[in-house]
Structure 1
Amino acid sequence: MQLEAKNIGFRYDKESWIFRNRNLSLSSGEVVGLIGPSGCGKTTFARMLAGYMQPFEGQVLLNNAPLPKKGYQPVQLVFQHPEKAVNPKWRMKKILTEGGKFDDEWLELIGIKKEWLRRWPNELSGGELQRFCVARALGAHTQFLIADEMTTMLDAITQAQIWHAVLDVARKRNIGILVISHEQPLINRLCDRVIHFSGNNSGDDQ
């Protein structure tokens, strides 16, 4: 399996380009880092890779075909702020099972306690909520995970536990991961290679 961005660019209306001619190739089982300064368009790029937004030019392909517009999205995106990614009117069990059914072993690995399933989002901490978002994103049909500053807001112990669980599942299921982060030590520790995303100048996968 392969996720590709081919010469994609984005701008708002007729304003200056945020970025242009961006290319990326991510294969199954690969862990790739993406770094760049604030405001260079990394999150916009991530949203396009997961099908949340459409590029102004270029295209995003999954196995040489456009991303599916219906059904379960095989490219999942986890944001930095979990409270913005959950329905506050749903209990956590319903939020979790949006991605499919999960066994107790997986929930234990990622650190989700059974009693949390009965709670509402506002009854959990940011770290607890993010565990649910990560677990939901790694549903049975997920082929690629886009982690956009996924653990930046968490303490070091929680961050390590979540990444340990994610990498374990990714290895077992051959999931490709794009790690977007400002934290160079994290990128160095997790990733097979790194892409430098520097703003509206043209740039390619490295």
Structure 2
Amino acid sequence: MMPNQSETMLSFDAVSMQFATGGGLFSKSRPLHALKDISFELRRGEILGVVGESGSGKSTLGKLALRLLDPSQGRVRFRQHDLADYRGAALKALRCELQMVFQDPNSALNGRMTIEQCLREPLQLHRRGTRAEQLTEIRRLLDLVGLPDSAMARYPHELSGGQKQRVVIARALALKPTVLVADEAVAALDASVKAQITNLLLELRERLGLSIIFISHDLPLVQTLCDRVLVLYLGRLMELAPHAALADGGRHPYTQALWRSSPLADPSQRMLDEALVAGEIPSPLKPPPGCVFHTRCAKALPCCAVTEPPAIDTSPGHRVLCWLYEPTDSLESP
């Protein structure tokens, strides 16, 4: 199913998120900038990939999309309605539309409940049907994710990792959501099982018209699975590109470094060590001035250490936060 570009399901409008850290008798609290000035749209039927190193703000973005957090600045909208405006019964109804697929099915499922009980729980909480109708729905959900009816009587520890993740996906689909946030949903799985789960997500997108935010460290997987890819670094949106534009590593130096750092099965295609990202990601409590990536960038210009770069549309649908693409002759390499 091709994305319906005429309908926006979820949108971030100049969203920033800060957390207060530290503070006490002899010290002041310090703001941690988890996300800064993030803007993008998720279209109906689209899978949007979100990649970046640990600490880049990926999980915070997912929580904001689900209204588990409220932004410090900016607006998150679902079908053009500000998530912050939802209260009471309206917020409970919104929870049905926006659902999460967690990374670790072992902690996501209650080990003392059978699979039937795990899948019945959201139906009971939202008063969906009689017990007989709920049982019919549970069978439908299991079939949807490729599990037999016999799985209902089992406990999570009796299932394989891939089967448990299918149950987690089935539970997320129980309330018929329109948007799924998959936060590292295949990171804990073996390669063959990972491929099965990603194929399942593609099938569900086709059958149900789901919009999916797919958060991952695996850039090659995201490039294959997703329609567009959003690259985060230290809470900044460094690049937003169609998946085809990442076939050669993208345009931002950070995206290119991530791509070269990704493990590849073919040894002849692996990059040399010097192509990897140098150094450690700076502390979000004290991000570098200017472009936050300039301390690790091999292509940094003098202005990168002083002034934050603008978001530049290098082509339709392809946005890059980098001085290298600023159309001016005044920028010279060091």
TM-score bin, normalised by smaller chain: 0.7 to 0.9
Q: Compute the displacement of 1:152 (Å).
A: 1.2
Query: Aligned to 1:198, which of 220, 233, 238?
Result: 233
Aligned to 1:70: 92
Structure 2: distance between partners of 1:173 and 1:200? 32
Q: Compute the displacement of 1:42 (Å).
A: 0.4
Structure 2: distance between partners of 1:27 and 1:182? 22
Q: Which is bigger in relative contact order (C-alpha 8 A, separation at least 6)? A: 1
5+ unaligned residues in a row in structure 1: which ranges?
A: none
Q: Max radius of gyration: which structure? A: 2
1:2·1:63 contact (CA, 8 Å) conserved in 2?
yes
| 2:199 is the counterpart of 1:148 | no
TM-score, normalised to structure 2, is 0.56
Helix, strand or coil at the partner of 2:32 = coil
Structure 2: distance between partners of 1:181 and 1:202? 15
**29-38 or 87-96, larger mean C-alpha shift:** 87-96
Deviations 1:38-68 (A, max 9, x none): 1111011111111222222222110111345
Structure 2: distance between partners of 1:53 and 1:204? 24
**82-91 or 16-25, larger mean C-alpha shift:** 82-91
Letter of the aligned partner of 1:50 in structure 2? L
Aligned to 1:15: 31
Q: Compute the displacement of 1:131 (Å).
A: 0.9
Q: Compute the displacement of 1:204 (Å).
A: 7.1
Structure 2: distance between partners of 1:204 and 1:58? 19
Aligned to 1:162: 197
Helix, strand or coil at the partner of 1:136 = helix
**1:106 and 1:141, CA in 2 relative to 1: closer, same or farther beyond 3 A?**
closer
Q: Compute the displacement of 1:104 (Å).
A: 4.6
Aligned to 2:64: 48
Aligned to 2:45: 29
| 2:104 is the counterpart of 1:97 | no
TM-score, normalised to structure 1, is 0.87
2:162·2:197 contact (CA, 8 Å) conserved in 1?
no
Structure 2: distance between partners of 1:70 and 1:138? 16
Deviations 1:98-152 (A, max 9, x none): 4555465652452323222112233333322211111111235210111111111
> May I ask how many residue pairs the two structures share in their alignment?
206
5+ unaligned residues in a row in structure 2: which ranges?
A: 1-7, 21-29, 124-133, 241-318, 320-334
Helix, strand or coil at the partner of 1:18 = strand
Letter of the aligned partner of 2:197 in structure 1? I
Letter of the aligned partner of 1:96 in structure 2? L
